[in-house]
Amino acid sequence: MNNHTHAAGHSRPPLSTTTPSEIASRLLAAPTSDAPGPVVITTHAKPDGDAAGSSLALARALIHKGVPAEVWHVGPFQGWLKTIAGDTPTRRISQDTPAASLSSALPSDASNEPRAIVVTDTGSWVQLETLTPWLKPRTQRVMVIDHHLQGDADLSPRRLVETTAASATQVLAPVIDALLGLRADEALPEPIARMLYLGLATDTGWFKFSNTSAAAMRLAARMIDSGVDHAGLYQLIDQQDAAVRPRLLGRALSSLRYFDENTIAFMALTGGDLRELSAGQEDTGGFAEPAMSVMSVRVVAVFTDATRAGDAQPTTKVSLRSKPGTNAIDVAAVCASLGGGGHARAAGVKLKMEIPQAQEAVLQALRMKRG
Ligand SMILES: [Mn+2]
């Protein structure tokens, strides 16, 4: 994920329990009479580039093979998502849909019962909150394609998880090759390649984060050889901010505090900041970069008020980033100690407390974990 503010599960089941070719053959198999519907592909709420890219790429590859497929996205939705989805069948589900009314938001007749369900870019129930009541009775038909360390074993018996992959789309690429019968050096149809590139590019910060590997670069080169307009994608995804974004960044920067010889940087966006600027959660995220560019800084935490109207308790969303190198801080471990998760260099957690208390808790956890 680009925005790593998800909390992931604690259990660590064996990572991969299946192979790209097994997933492909299951997806190409004729449906059974009790589950004749399309393949449903879903991902974590608030889809980022990798979530959108992995889910849409797989749907396009299946449709290319004549297999009916649709993507289910759970909000909030970023502005570019509609453009990226194009005419690929996509169902948009509000993240606030209560469990009781979920079934009326979803196709319910038996002819629509999906033959298979694929979850991409997450393997954790907490990131699939809204869809959990629908997924729970169907886990035997779920397959997971992911690159996160955390995951829940009871989400699916079939998991394709590579934690060294830069993006879920990198894990997905061999599945698509198996579906389409392509070698790993052959061109892909451009609408599929564009989605694979999108996941790679956004999860590597446009090829500058430490997860940018030779394999990621090779896959990106193959996608560009397949005709992807990488400059157009950059403009669509990274230069589409609402006018309020720089103002919100100004608020975050003016809250900047350093700790421990300027090695730790904290920024905060309060509920007041969001209200005064008429900004929403969808306008936040990605604010760590300016503080990461400070030489002494090794870790940045951005705290955002995520309390929803009517919530009994305050919620603070914490997004952590750290720099690679000697004594690099494993922010996934820091977040895991607080109930969250993510990657070693980018992780997150949601804490049921006000921002000042959340900052105290994260500072303690950072001081405990650093070398
Ligand atoms: Mn990802």
User: What is the third-level CATH fold of 244-369?
Assistant: Diaminopimelate Epimerase; Chain A, domain 1 (3.10.310)
What's the topology of domain 20-238?
A: inorganic pyrophosphatase (n-terminal core) (3.90.1640)
Kindly report, residue by residue over 59-100, the tens digit of the pLDDT: 999 999 999 999 999 998 988 999 999 999 999 999 888 888
Residue 268, pLDDT > 60, answer yes
What average pLDDT does the chain have?
93
Is-same-fold flag (20-238; 244-369)? Answer: no
> What is the spatial distance between Cα 273 and Cα 288, in angstroms, rounded to a whole number?
17
Strands 117-120 and 90-93: unpaired
The Cα 115–Cα 100 span in angstroms is 24
Are 332 and 341 in contact, with CB atoms under 8 Å apart? yes
Token pair in block for residue 183: 């070698």
pLDDT in tens, 194-227: 999 999 999 999 999 999 999 999 999 999 999 9
Give the domain ranges of the chain. 20-238, 244-369
Q: Torsion-angle region of residue 261: left (phi > 0), alpha (psi -120 to 50) or beta?
A: left
Torsion-angle region of 162 (φ positive above 0: left; ψ -120 to 50: alpha; else: beta)? beta
Contact in structure between 88 and 60 (CB atoms under 8 Å): yes
Q: Please write the tens of the pLDDT for every residue from 17-45.
A: 999 999 999 999 999 999 999 999 999 99
pLDDT at 370: 72
Q: How far is the CA of 260 from the centre of ligand 1 (A)?
A: 31
Residues with Cβ–ion distance below 5 A, ligand 1? 1, 50, 121, 168, 203
pLDDT value for 96: 86
Cβ neighbours of 254 (radius 10 Å): 10
pLDDT at 306: 95
Is residue 259 within 8 Å of residue 282, measured between CB atoms? no
Backbone CA torsion sign across 181, 185, 190, 193 = positive
Distance 128 CA to ligand 1 centre (A): 14
Cβ-in-10-Å burial (0-12, 13-18, 19+) of 198 comes to buried
- Helix-helix angle 20-28:168-180, to 10 degrees: 60
Percentage of the residues of the chain whose pLDDT score is greater than 90: 83
Q: Give residue 36 CA to ligand 1 midpoint distance, Å.
A: 30
pLDDT at 4: 42
How far, in Å, from the CA of 237 to the mean position of ligand 1? 15
- How many angstroms separate the alpha carbon of residue 151 from the centre of ligand 1? 13
Residue 5 has pLDDT above 50, yes or no: no
Rounded Cα distance between 84 and 196, Å, is 12
Q: In the prediction, which pLDDT does 13 show? A: 57
pLDDT of residue 11: 53
With bands split at pLDDT 50, 70 and 90, how would you rate the model's confidence at 7? very low
Distance 140 CA to ligand 1 centre (A): 23
What does the pLDDT read at residue 12? 55
What is the arithmetic mean of pLDDT over 37-60?
Answer: 97
CB 143 within 8 A of CB 160: yes
The tokens of 11 are what? 């259990």
pLDDT at 163 over 50: yes
